Amino acid sequence: MPKTKPRVRFANTTEEDFGRLLHRLRLRWEYEPHTFVLRTKPDGTPALAFTPDFYLPDLGVYFELTTMRQKLVTIKNRKARLLAELRPDVRLRILYRRDCQDVLRPARTRKAREALLRKLLPTPPEDTLRRATWLAYLQRRADAGGGISVMGVRLPLGPDWIGRRLNVWVYSHTLEIDFEGIQIARFPCAYDARSRRLLSVEPGELLVGPEVRQSRLALPELQRPPSPARRSRSGPRTRVPGRQLSLFL
């Protein structure tokens, strides 16, 4: 079993919260993956460089968060201008303190997440918009048989996924599973948002194998306390026994 990947060490809590936001919007990201040299010394060594905070590889966009005092904001703005002059092909967006306060807020509904996504990306692709409008999100660790249990339904993924922490995103008619931001499986389903339960799940497909473990992308693990059980007015809810489903390639 490969060792667990170390968590990202952010410079401040604002960056950590922004990483969580990108995760909830289902945007793959890398933290400070590239450094751009803006000026060099006579001997060729860097004299001025710029390392944006976040990079979205699927969309080719960098984000720089600026929430510090004005003097340092001015320096970052100057670096951004130099980068635009030297590399006009690089897409960079700077988020200032007010911008961060505007986007780093709870987004519990599909419309709220879609609105936040449009603030970050004025013209997001249709598939990016769709992925952000999930109805339920869970984290599950694959059991000794390589499967996970989701709302009373066991989904087998195979022995290669044993012990790995997976993200489950539920939509009205689709249940999607990803590992470190890369989608690995998809199941047709029917989900009732009002009762927050799966009505049915059909056999799905495995999209990729565990070799995605080599990906350099990192996602934060969202640790949330379990929600209190809701009681029905008509009496206690009966748990539906787990159903065994088969994957096909």
Give me the pLDDT at residue 181, please.
Answer: 87
Q: Do 147 and 189 belong to one domain?
A: yes
pTM, entire model = 0.79
The residue with greater pLDDT, 241 or 56, is 56
The model's pLDDT over 200-245, given as tens digits with 9 standing for 90+, comes to 999 988 887 665 443 333 333 333 334 445 454 445 443 434 444 4
Q: Do 113 and 139 belong to one domain?
A: no
In this prediction, residues 164-182 reach a mean pLDDT of 94
CA–CA dist 233, 236 (Å, integer):
8
For residue 3, being part of any structural domain is answered with no
For residue 239, being part of any structural domain is answered with no
Q: Do 89 and 163 belong to one domain?
A: no
- DSSP track, 30-90: EES---EEEEE-TTS-EEEEE--SEEETTTTEEEEE--S-HHHHHHHHHHHHHHHHH-TT-
The model's pLDDT over 65-115, given as tens digits with 9 standing for 90+, comes to 987 777 778 889 999 999 999 999 999 999 998 999 999 988 889 999 999
Give me the pLDDT at residue 4, please.
Answer: 39
Query: Under a CB-based contact definition with an 8 Å cutoff, are residues 174 and 186 in contact?
Result: yes
Q: What is the DSSP letter of 173?
A: S
Q: Do 32 and 117 belong to one domain?
A: yes
The residue with greater pLDDT, 217 or 151, is 151
Q: Do 46 and 113 belong to one domain?
A: yes
For residue 106, being part of any structural domain is answered with yes
Give me the pLDDT at residue 79, please.
Answer: 94
For residue 6, being part of any structural domain is answered with no
Residue 96 sits in which domain range? 13-123
For residue 114, being part of any structural domain is answered with yes
Q: Do 147 and 79 belong to one domain?
A: no
Nearest Cα residue to 188 out of 247, 138, 136, 237? 247
Domain CATH number, residue 89:
3.40.960.10
Q: Do 147 and 168 belong to one domain?
A: yes
What domain count does the chain have? 2
- Residues whose CB falls within 8 Å of the CB of residue 137, separated by 6 or more in sequence, listed in order: 24, 167, 168, 169, 170
Listed residues 63, 97, 123: the one ending a domain: 123
Q: Do 106 and 161 belong to one domain?
A: no
Q: Do 161 and 64 belong to one domain?
A: no
